[in-house]
């Protein structure tokens, strides 16, 4: 298509985007209400075999990001003889999974696991789906020393160890089937292949995702945080996985995307990530996202390379690359270099001492007279004190300079002391960041001091509660926060239907006292092949000068339309009350289609 013709087509399309959105929403709603043929029974064909016995799962395992994800529900945890606790941390949820006498710590949407104090790349990020945690299966078994193999052709993940089957699996099978089921031919072939050297070849697949987004604002538009717009997005992905002739396990994802939103990288979003792993060495090239610590390289995207080597006592990281964003108000490109070393302090308990250094510099042809440099040094400790108690501490110092003349420096430190058992968890955090501390590769509020204590307890098989207190001091203002939560499974016949009640009271004491109360109720359910997440939130903000209210409703529906086609519909409505009213509505519809099977 000629470029001019493409521009004309886009203009005509978005003259009335609400018509397009209405038609797409109507199609999604009809598809969501129509049960998929595959949803009548478990037809995914994906299985997990542990020492020759099928792992019982009430929920289907899900293939994603080149691996098979296992749902960590009660059936799986009891069969594996494992248990898991949930701890809120760093504005996200942290999890501790105790399995095979090992402690596995992880966060959602983060590839890094900590297994008895040692960092481990899972090759995929755990994620939450309607209250359930899905974990990369191959990484789960390898983290505790088992041999695991994921066979995409047969859809079977096998794990083996020279010992009896894990406790609970055989018993669970007998309860469900009455007898241990005999292995099928594909299962026997997959098990045989797991004990042999697989053929060294690459498997690949490709998929396409199309998405439409519409945002409308009515009433007082100046009170809205979002501008009106309507855009289309399309992404084409090619994924590779396999073993190379030199023995390295190779994984790669190529993403090429287009959008009508020209403010986002001029309408193009491209990405390429490549990973090589062999024994104790791992390489990553091009689009990388290394993670060193709390104050250095914390989920910071780069284009470059990352090297990791795991030794008996020392683990080494080296990262170099170019940052996507400019540094503060600088007009120069940013280059980043970092090195980190971890040393194990004990062979009997997971205790690791780490230290790192990251530098960020402006480089390139002169644009103005000022070039910025930021250097950050940090040292941290992660130690298991007892079976229940764990300590994490970190101290960092950042030095920033302008043309090496105007230099400022500051420090930051944090201490986390957590306690976890099978039914409860308690986390206490202290953090203090000076007003002059700056680390370009992390995110935080300068000049903040915070003390928090959060407690979670499992009341029964169908109820879990949490409460806590946080005290923040920022810019001379002291803020008190009191979060509470209660999660329930109200119907025993429908364990996938969950209700969560979340509340947060926040009070700031200063010249203009402010109090904010947030109440939210969440509903999660699965009907046929449709997963539903509905949330209602009401927030009241009161100060000496004015009062403001916000009501928010969010609906998300994920539907499996066929074996290769899935959709996601999202609708959000926010209503603001102050002197005048503002209503914001944003809707999005996304379709993902796997165009080619594994080859």
- Cβ of 91: how many Cβ atoms within 10 Å? 6
Sequence-ordered alpha helix ranges (H) in 348-439: none
- Which among 376, 309, 303, 364 is positioned nearest to 338, based on CA atoms? 376
Task: Count other Cβ atoms within 10 Å, centred on residue 25.
Answer: 17
CB neighbour class for 109 (10 Å; exposed up to 12, middle 13-18, buried from 19): exposed
The residues, ordered by sequence, that sit 6+ positions from 559 with a Cβ below 8 Å of its Cβ are 28, 31, 32, 36, 529, 530, 531, 566, 567, 568, 569
Supply the pLDDT for residue 260. Answer: 87
Q: Is the backbone of residue 338 left (phi > 0), alpha (psi -120 to 50) or beta?
A: beta
Q: In degrees, to the nearest 5, what angle opens at C-alpha 497 toward C-alphas 504 and 421?
A: 60
Pairing of strands 156-160, 565-577: unpaired
Record the pTM: 0.67
Q: Which residue has the tokens 């969440």?
A: 522
Do residues 447 and 473 touch, judged by C-beta distance below 8 A? Answer: no
339 exposure class (CB count in 10 Å sphere: 0-12, 13-18, 19+): middle
Give whole-number Cα distances, 303 to 288, 324, 443, 454, in Å.
6, 8, 19, 37
Model pLDDT for residues 359-389, shown as the tens digit of each residue: 998 876 665 667 788 999 999 998 989 888 9
Give the number of other Cβ atoms within 10 Å of residue 108's Cβ: 14
- For strands 47-50 and 156-160, give the pairing: parallel
What pLDDT is attached to residue 6? 42
What letters, b where the CB count within 10 A reaches 16 and e where it falls short, cover 555-565? bbbbbbbeeee
Going by C-alpha positions, the residue among 43, 72, 40, 37 that lies closest to residue 58 is 72
Pairwise CA distance, residues 560 & 592, whole Å: 10
CA 308, CA 188: separation in Å to the nearest integer? Answer: 36
Of the chain, the end-to-end C-alpha distance in Å amounts to 31
**24 to each of 59, 259, 564, 570, how far by Cα in Å?**
29, 17, 19, 12
From CA 157, how far away is CA 151, in angstroms rounded?
Answer: 6
Neighbours of 260 (CB within 10 A): 18
Contact 376, 397 (CB under 8 A): yes
Which pLDDT score is estimated for 171? Answer: 46
Q: How far apart are CA 498 and CA 500, in angstroms?
A: 7
* Distance set, CA 589 to CA 93, 109, 319 (Å): 27, 22, 37
Q: Could you read off the pLDDT of 405-415 as tens digits, one per residue? A: 678 899 999 99
Q: Is 560 left (phi over 0), alpha (psi -120 to 50) or beta?
A: beta
Residue with tokens 């914001």: 584
Query: What does each of the 599 residues of the chain score in pLDDT, given as a tens digit?
Result: 343 444 333 334 334 444 444 444 444 444 444 443 333 333 456 888 887 778 888 777 888 766 888 988 877 887 787 777 766 555 556 777 878 777 788 888 777 888 766 777 787 788 877 667 889 988 888 888 788 888 777 788 888 864 444 544 444 444 433 334 455 565 555 555 544 444 556 677 788 889 999 999 888 877 777 788 899 989 888 888 777 888 788 888 888 888 888 766 555 667 888 988 888 888 999 988 888 999 999 878 888 999 999 887 889 999 999 886 554 445 567 899 999 999 988 877 778 899 999 999 887 666 566 778 899 999 999 898 988 898 999 999 999 987 766 788 999 999 999 888 878 889 999 999 999 998 988 888 889 999 999 998 888 888 889 999 999 998 888 999 999 999 898 987 787 788 999 999 999 876 567 888 999 999 988 888 888 999 999 999 887 777 888 899 999 998 888 877 889 999 999 988 776 788 999 999 999 887 765 55
**CA gap 57, 75 in Å, rounded:** 6
Q: What is the pLDDT of residue 112?
A: 81
């Amino acid at each position: 298509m000629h470029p001019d013709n493409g521009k004309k087509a886009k203009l005509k399309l978005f003259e009335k985007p609400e018509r397009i959105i209405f038609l797409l929403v109507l199609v999604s709603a009809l598809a969501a209400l129509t049960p998929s043929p595959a949803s009548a029974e478990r037809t995914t064909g994906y299985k997990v075999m542990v020492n020759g016995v099928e792992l019982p799962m009430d929920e289907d395992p899900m293939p994603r990001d080149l691996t098979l994800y296992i749902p960590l529900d009660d059936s799986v945890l009891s069969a594996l003889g494992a248990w898991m606790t949930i701890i809120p941390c760093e504005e996200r949820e942290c999890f501790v999974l105790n399995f095979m006498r090992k402690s596995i710590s992880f966060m959602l949407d983060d590839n890094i696991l900590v297994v008895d104090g040692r960092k481990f790349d899972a090759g995929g990020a755990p994620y939450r789906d309607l209250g359930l945690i899905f974990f990369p299966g191959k990484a789960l078994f390898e983290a505790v020393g088992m041999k695991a193999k994921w066979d995409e052709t047969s859809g079977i993940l096998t794990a083996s160890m020279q010992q009896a089957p894990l406790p609970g699996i055989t018993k669970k099978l007998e309860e469900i089937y009455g007898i241990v089921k005999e292995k099928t031919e594909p299962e026997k072939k997959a098990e045989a292949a797991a004990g042999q050297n697989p053929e060294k070849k690459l498997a690949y697949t490709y998929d396409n995702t199309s998405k439409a987004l519409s945002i409308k604002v009515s009433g007082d538009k100046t009170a809205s945080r979002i501008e009106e717009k309507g855009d289309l997005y399309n992404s084409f992905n090619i994924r590779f996985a396999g073993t190379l002739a030199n023995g390295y396990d190779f994984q790669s994802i190529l993403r090429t995307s287009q959008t009508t939103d020209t403010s986002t990288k001029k309408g193009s979003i491209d990405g390429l990530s490549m990973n090589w792993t062999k024994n104790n060495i791992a390489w990553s090239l091009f689009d990388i996202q290394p993670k060193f610590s709390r104050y250095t390289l914390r989920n910071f995207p780069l284009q470059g390379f990352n090297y990791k080597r795991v030794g008996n006592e020392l683990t080494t990281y080296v990262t170099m690359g170019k940052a996507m964003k400019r540094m503060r108000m600088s007009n120069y490109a940013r280059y980043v270099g970092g090195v980190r070393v971890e040393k194990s302090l004990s062979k009997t308990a997971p205790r690791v001492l780490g230290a790192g250094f990251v530098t960020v510099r402006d480089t390139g042809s002169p644009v103005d007279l000022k070039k910025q440099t930021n250097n950050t040094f940090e040292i941290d400790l992660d130690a298991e004190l007892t079976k229940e108690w764990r300590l994490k501490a970190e101290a960092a110092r950042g030095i920033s300079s302008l043309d090496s003349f105007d230099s400022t420096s500051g420090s930051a430190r944090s201490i986390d002391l957590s306690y976890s058992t099978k039914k409860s968890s308690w986390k206490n955090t202290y953090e203090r960041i000076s007003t002059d501390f700056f680390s370009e590769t992390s995110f935080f509020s300068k000049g903040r001091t915070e003390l928090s204590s959060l407690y979670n307890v499992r009341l029964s098989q169908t109820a879990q509660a949490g409460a806590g207190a946080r005290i923040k001091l920022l810019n001379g203002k002291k803020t008190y926060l009191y979060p509470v939560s209660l999660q329930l499974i109200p119907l025993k016949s429908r364990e996938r239907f969950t209700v969560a009640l979340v509340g947060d009271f926040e009070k700031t004491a200063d010249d203009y006292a402010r109090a904010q109360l947030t109440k939210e109720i969440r509903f999660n359910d699965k009907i046929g092949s449709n997963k539903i997440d509905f949330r209602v939130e009401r927030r009241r903000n009161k100060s000496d000068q004015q009062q403001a209210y916000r009501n928010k409703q969010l609906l998300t529906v994920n539907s499996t339309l066929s074996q290769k086609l899935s959709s996601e519909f999202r609708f959000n409505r926010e209503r603001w009350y102050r002197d005048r009213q503002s209503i914001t509505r944003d809707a999005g519809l996304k379709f993902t289609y796997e165009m080619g099977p594994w080859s």
